[in-house]
């Protein structure tokens, strides 16, 4: 196998074949990687890197071993240099690779948090978008690439689900409330605009008791439906409904029109499996047989519900069934995986080929179905400047919590 000559599709296929050849090495409590965020203690404001407690509890209760990974700086200096400069990328890749190579990862879980850096999906920063946590954004981005190509079972909540879409080439609506009417306006002659549900709490620091809830419609033929069916209150031939899901987000992957067209940008390789009654996309999953489930709602805060328990139990079972590549196989694939990941970074700037193959495009204009526009490295730096300025004296680029 000459990894340097692999195409993008060839790399993914080669790894799929290798995984299929592995001997099963099931473990009773699989290790699930959880990238953390920067925080501080309430007393003394002592800085720390922390994991999502609710998600860790859910995973532990159904037999997983959650492993929280601090999103520490990958290099000294500007995080954005990793996206723009090849030498900086190589340095960051080696840090992440050393972790991948040493730890027997069986699954990836991404929790909620603040807004993603909009440059990762080709959009300029809007005023309602929160300050990015750049090191967390980059750790998650590269771990998601590894998760996709190595077929790790992957589950994301809210921000985490959004990032699963963005990493594969999808986009986001940066603020539902301010963009809702304009996003609907091109279809005014076809449909009456649906009223936007409340998707975020009015309380500054929400808790599960003060968060808003709304029903979810679920495709009965989806992976999500298979996981949550014991907890459904309503079932018809065409739709399953979760009566009350906890919601805390102002951004979204997109929404579905009454005729099933999508406004926004769903990444290639993914399909919509759940929406709210206003059409806002609430879940994506992979179109193939891998466990890749991106949720917009907070199932981790509904752990007493049978349907939420089903999601986590199914995810941990998929992690339990996953068979890893050997260290020798991973090392042989390292050059090809580095090139594949780097090509995805270049796609943000319009350098959209990998050894002759086109890479996924990122949605910069969610008002057009399938519209794509790329940003240059200069535009990328300009789009983040206001957010970096707002960070001011904060020690690690941290943001208002919004999802």
Q: Which helix (H) or strand (E) holds 331?
A: helix 327-348
Report CA-CA distances (Å) from 209 to 156, 157, 193, 213, 388: 22, 18, 30, 10, 33
Measured in degrees and rounded to the nearest 5, phi and psi for residue 305 equal -90, 140
**Region 90-118: what's the mean pLDDT?**
94
Q: 């195409």: which residue's tokens?
A: 7
Q: Is the pLDDT of residue 244 over 90?
A: no
| 76 contacts: CB under 8 Å, gap ≥ 6 | none
> What is the rounded distance in angstroms from the CA atom of residue 354 to the CA atom of residue 341?
10
Who has greater pLDDT, 9 or 95? 95
Q: Is the pLDDT of residue 355 over 80?
A: no
> What is the rounded distance in angstroms from the CA atom of residue 129 to the CA atom of residue 250?
9
Label residue 394 by pLDDT band (50, 70, 90).
very low
Label residue 353 by pLDDT band (50, 70, 90).
very low
Q: Are strands 292-295 and 281-286 parallel, antiparallel or unpaired?
A: antiparallel
- pLDDT score at 278: 93
**Domain annotation covers residue 296:** yes
- pLDDT score at 41: 61
Look up the CATH number of the domain holding residue 80: 3.40.50
- pLDDT score at 19: 79
Q: Is the pLDDT of residue 136 over 50?
A: yes
**Domain annotation covers residue 233:** no
> What is the rounded distance in angstroms from the CA atom of residue 158 to the CA atom of residue 148?
19
The 10s digit of each residue's pLDDT in 24-77 is 666 789 999 999 887 656 666 777 777 888 899 999 999 999 999 988 999 999
Q: Give the CA count within 13 Å in the CB-facing half-sphere of 114.
A: 22
Question: Contact, 198 vs 260, CB < 8 A?
Answer: no
Residue 183, both tokens: 């996003």
**Region 275-302: what's the mean pLDDT?**
95
Measured in degrees and rounded to the nearest 5, phi and psi for residue 117 equal -65, 120
Q: Is the pLDDT of residue 96 over 90?
A: yes
- pLDDT score at 10: 77
Q: Which helix (H) or strand (E) holds 292?
A: strand 292-295
Nearest to 144 by CA among 161, 127, 129, 132: 161
Residue 351, both tokens: 């350098």
Per the structure, the complete domain to which residue 379 belongs is given by 3-20+28-174+288-391
**Domain annotation covers residue 184:** no
Question: Contact, 106 vs 153, CB < 8 A?
Answer: yes
- pLDDT score at 74: 93
- pLDDT score at 401: 40
Question: Contact, 246 vs 209, CB < 8 A?
Answer: no
Label residue 350 by pLDDT band (50, 70, 90).
low
Residue 128, both tokens: 């309602």
- The percent of residues above 90 in pLDDT, for the chain, comes to 55
**Domain annotation covers residue 368:** yes
**Domain annotation covers residue 218:** no
Return the minimum-mean-pLDDT range out of 25-29, 173-177, 216-220, 388-392.
388-392
- The percent of residues above 70 in pLDDT, for the chain, comes to 77
**Domain annotation covers residue 202:** no
Query: Per this entry, what is the length of the chain?
Result: 403
Nearest to 130 by CA among 361, 386, 342, 396: 386
Q: Is the pLDDT of residue 284 over 60?
A: yes
Largest CA distance in the chain: 59
The 10s digit of each residue's pLDDT in 258-267 is 999 999 989 9
Who has greater pLDDT, 263 or 232? 263
- pLDDT score at 395: 33
**Domain annotation covers residue 97:** yes
Report CA-CA distances (Å) from 92 to 50, 186, 299: 21, 43, 32
Return the minimum-mean-pLDDT range out of 49-63, 155-169, 376-390.
376-390
Label residue 281 by pLDDT band (50, 70, 90).
very high
Question: Contact, 142 vs 162, CB < 8 A?
Answer: no
**Domain annotation covers residue 226:** no
**Region 136-142: what's the mean pLDDT?**
96
Q: Is the pLDDT of residue 179 over 50?
A: yes
Q: Where are the alpha helices (DSSP H) in 103-222?
A: 134-150, 159-167, 176-184
Q: Is the pLDDT of residue 396 over 60?
A: no
Nearest to 292 by CA among 274, 309, 269: 269
Q: Is the pLDDT of residue 182 over 80?
A: yes
How many domains, in total, are found in the chain?
A: 1
User: Average model confidence (pLDDT) for the chain?
Assistant: 81
- pLDDT score at 321: 95
- pLDDT score at 148: 95
- pLDDT score at 53: 87
């Amino acid at each position: 196998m000459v990894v340097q000559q692999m195409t993008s599709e060839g790399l993914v296929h080669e790894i799929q074949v290798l995984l299929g050849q592995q001997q099963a090495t099931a473990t009773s409590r699989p290790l699930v990687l959880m990238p953390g965020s920067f925080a501080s203690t309430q007393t003394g404001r002592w800085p720390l890197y922390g994991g999502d407690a609710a998600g860790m509890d859910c995973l532990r209760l159904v037999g997983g071993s959650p492993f929280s990974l601090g999103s520490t700086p990958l290099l000294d200096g500007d995080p954005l240099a990793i996206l723009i400069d090849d030498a900086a990328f190589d340095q960051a890749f080696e840090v992440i690779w050393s972790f991948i190579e040493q730890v027997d990862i069986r699954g990836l879980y991404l929790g909620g948090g603040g807004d993603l850096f909009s440059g990762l999906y080709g959009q300029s920063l809007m005023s309602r978008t929160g300050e990015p946590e750049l090191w967390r954004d980059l750790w998650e981005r590269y771990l998601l690439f590894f998760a996709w190509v190595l077929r790790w079972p992957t589950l994301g909540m809210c921000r985490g689900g959004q990032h699963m879409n963005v990493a594969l080439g999808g986009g986001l609506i940066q603020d539902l409330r301010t963009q809702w009417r304009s996003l609907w306006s091109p279809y005014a002659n076809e449909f009456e605009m649906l009223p936007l549900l409340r998707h975020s709490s009015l309380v500054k620091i929400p808790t599960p008791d003060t968060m808003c809830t709304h029903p979810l419609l679920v495709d009965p033929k989806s992976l999500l439906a298979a996981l949550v069916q014991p907890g459904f209150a309503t079932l018809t031939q065409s739709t399953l409904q979760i009566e009350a899901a906890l919601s805390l987000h102002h951004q979204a992957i997109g929404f579905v029109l009454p005729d099933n067209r999508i406004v926004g940008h769903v990444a290639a390789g993914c399909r919509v499996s759940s929406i709210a009654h206003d059409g806002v996309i609430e879940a994506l999953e992979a179109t193939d047989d891998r466990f890749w489930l991106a949720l917009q709602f907070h199932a981790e805060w509904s752990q007493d519900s049978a349907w939420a328990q089903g999601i986590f139990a199914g995810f941990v079972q998929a992690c339990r069934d996953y068979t890893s590549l050997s260290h020798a196989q991973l090392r042989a694939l390292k050059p090809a995986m580095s090139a594949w990941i780097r090509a995805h970074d270049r796609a943000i700037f319009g350098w959209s080929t990998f050894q002759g193959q086109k890479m996924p495009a990122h949605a910069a204009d969610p008002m057009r179905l399938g519209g794509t526009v790329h940003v240059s490295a200069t535009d990328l730096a300009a789009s983040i400047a206001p957010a970096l300025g707002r960070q001011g004296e904060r020690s690690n680029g941290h943001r208002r919590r919004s999802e």
